[in-house]
Amino acid sequence: MRSITTLLFFALAALFLAAPCAHADDAKAREIMQKVNDRDDGDNAVSEEEMILIDKRGKQRVRKIKSFRKDFGEDTHSILFFEEPADVRDTSFLTFDYDDESKDDDQWLYLPALKKVKRIASSDKDGAFMGSDFTYGDMTERALSKFSYEMVREEDVDGHKCWVIQSTPINDDVVDEYGYLKSRAFVRQDNYVVVRAQFQWAKGNKFKEMRVEKLEQIDGIWTALEMTMKTMKNKEIVHQTLLRTTSIKYNQPMDETMFTTRRMETGL
């Protein structure tokens, strides 16, 4: 698949600050977000990542992941396998990301201790993915039609001029699905990459911030090689997750049988 890091930074593109309400849609802001969504993400990718979970005392837990992504027409199928440490080894996660915005994306999680594949219900997509600061909803591309967009301002981020675009869920069902009241995306004007995003949770008075820490072009594809997501409450960091891509290759041969619930059970 896209590296898990790249997947997330695409998924977080359709992105803060009050309860959802009727909101005028900004045509320019929507056009920019459409271009973010349409950026080339490469075909048939294989990658290796580290997911580092960091608690408020700075204690770290490191997980190693191998992931695969293949295009099926306009749809995208992706699967990732946890390889280390022992307590998550052989856990796998499968996603069918549909281009048709009227269809809910499908997700499954395989837990080897239970020897069972669990389907992730839409009502559970605001839950934490494998104890990280990312949700299951963050693991799929968001339907642009489920949000209204507003241009907030322009701002420099790490020396690059960005548009700051605020998105608002169109109704309570979308809030329930993704868990966020509103979001802001900082979109680089030179390449349409979201390099920073801010989120207000619908529950628990929590605030989250995503930052792309390392961004490079690989085979002509802008690829996020490091990304952090911080969860804050009362302006204090309560937990954070660092995702680091250690290797990624695009245009790799891949069998369709890789992307099945059966493969989740048999593993790599």
- Asked if residue 6 has pLDDT above 60, the reply is no
The average pLDDT across 195-224 equals 90
The average pLDDT across 185-199 equals 96
Residue 254 amino acid letter: M
Residue 66 amino acid letter: K
In this predicted model, which residue has the larger pLDDT, 107 or 140? 107
Mind giving me the DSSP string for 115-140? Answer: TEEEE--GGGTTSBSTTSSSBSGGGS
- Asked if residue 155 has pLDDT above 60, the reply is yes
Dist CA 164 CA 101 (whole Å)? 24
Judge if the upstream peptide bond of residue 253 is cis by omega within 30 degrees of 0: no
Structure pTM? 0.85
User: b/e for 127-159, b at 16 or more Cβ within 10 A?
Assistant: eebbebbbbbbbbbbbbbebbbbbebeeeeeee
Per-residue confidence (pLDDT) for residue 173, from 0 to 100: 83
The average pLDDT across 249-257 equals 93
**Mean pLDDT score of the chain, rounded to an integer?**
88
Q: How many Cα atoms are found within 13 Å in the side-chain-facing hemisphere of 164?
A: 11
pLDDT tier, 8 (very low <50, low <70, confident <90, very high otherwise): low
In contact, 75 and 96? CB cutoff 8 Å: yes
Q: Which of 3-12, 55-64, 151-160 has the lowest mean pLDDT?
A: 3-12
Q: Tell me: the pLDDT tens digits for 44-89? A: 999 999 999 999 999 999 999 999 999 998 899 999 999 999 999 9
Per-residue confidence (pLDDT) for residue 19, from 0 to 100: 35
Per-residue confidence (pLDDT) for residue 260, from 0 to 100: 96
Q: Which residues pair with 17 in a beta bridge?
A: none
- Radius of gyration from C-alpha coordinates of the chain: 18
First vs last Cα of the chain: how many Å apart?
A: 14
Q: Tell me: the pLDDT tens digits for 10-47? A: 455 444 333 334 456 789 999 999 999 889 888 899 99
pLDDT tier, 1 (very low <50, low <70, confident <90, very high otherwise): very low
Per-residue confidence (pLDDT) for residue 235, from 0 to 100: 86
